[in-house]
């Protein structure tokens, strides 16, 4: 009986945490500021969705969602790589010149 209660509580906790993470990530996707920030945030969102689908499978014994997870993780990766390539059109441009070293000496 208490075990069932524990399961219910933990299930809601997991769901709530993942929903909160997804909402925060959506905020970052919305405010940017650059395309690459949004790409990183989208990657994290894909991972959160993978986590959520996995948790859903585990909590409701819906094991048919597992192949979905594989395709999702792979497709998310391809998307972010494509956007990164698109942003870095000048891909053979040299790295920016080193700016003067401003590291503090250890005190």
Partner 1 sequence: MSAGGVGARDRLSRARRRLPGVSPAAVLWLTAVWVLLWGSLDVLNVVGGVLVALVVLVLFPLPRVDLRLRLRPLAFTILVVRFLADLVRASVEVAWLAVRPGPVSRGVVMDLELASDDAFLQTLTAEMVSLVPGSVVIDLEPGTRLLTLHALGVRTRAQAERVRHKVRAQEARVLRALHPDPEALLDPRRRRHTPGAEVTG
Partner 2 sequence: MTLTDALDVLGLVFLLLGALLCLAAAIGLLRFPDLLTRMHAGTKPQVLGLLLVLVGVGLRSRSGLDVGMLLLIGVFQLLTIPAGSHMVGRAGFRTGQVAPTDIHPGRRDDPA
Q: Which residues bind partner 2 (CB under 8 A)?
A: 3, 6-7, 10-11, 13-14, 17-18, 20-22, 24-25, 27-28, 34, 36-37, 39-41, 43-44, 47-48, 50-51, 54-55, 57-59, 63, 66-67, 69-70, 73-74, 77, 80-81, 84-85, 87-88, 90-91, 93, 95-96, 98-99, 101-103
CA distance linking residue 59 with residue 62, whole number of Å: 8
Peptide bond into 33 cis (omega under 30): yes
Min. distance of Cβ 75 from partner 1 in angstroms? 14
Residue 13 binds what, of partner 1, partner 2, none (CB under 5 to 8 Å, by partner type)?
partner 2
Expressed in angstroms, the distance from the first to the final Cα of the chain is 59
For 71, the enclosing helix (H) or strand (E) is helix 66-87
Nearer to partner 1, 7 or 32 (CB): 32
Per-residue three-class SS string for 7-49: HHHHHHHHHHHHHHHHHHHHHHHHHCCCHHHHHHHHHHHHHHH
92 binds partner 1 (CB under 8 A): no
Q: Contact with partner 1 (CB under 8 A): which of 3, 30, 67, 89?
A: 67
């Amino acid at each position: 009986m208490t075990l069932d209660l524990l399961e219910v509580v933990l299930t809601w906790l997991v769901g709530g945490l993942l929903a909160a993470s997804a909402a925060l990530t959506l905020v970052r996707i919305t405010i940017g500021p650059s395309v690459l920030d949004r790409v990183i945030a989208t990657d994290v969102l894909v991972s959160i969705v993978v986590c959520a689908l996995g948790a859903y499978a585990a909590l409701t014994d819906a094991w048919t969602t597992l192949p979905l997870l594989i395709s999702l993780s792979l497709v998310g990766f391809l998307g972010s790589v494509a956007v990164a390539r698109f942003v870095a059109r000048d891909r053979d441009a040299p790295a920016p010149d080193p700016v003067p070293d401003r590291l503090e000496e250890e005190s």
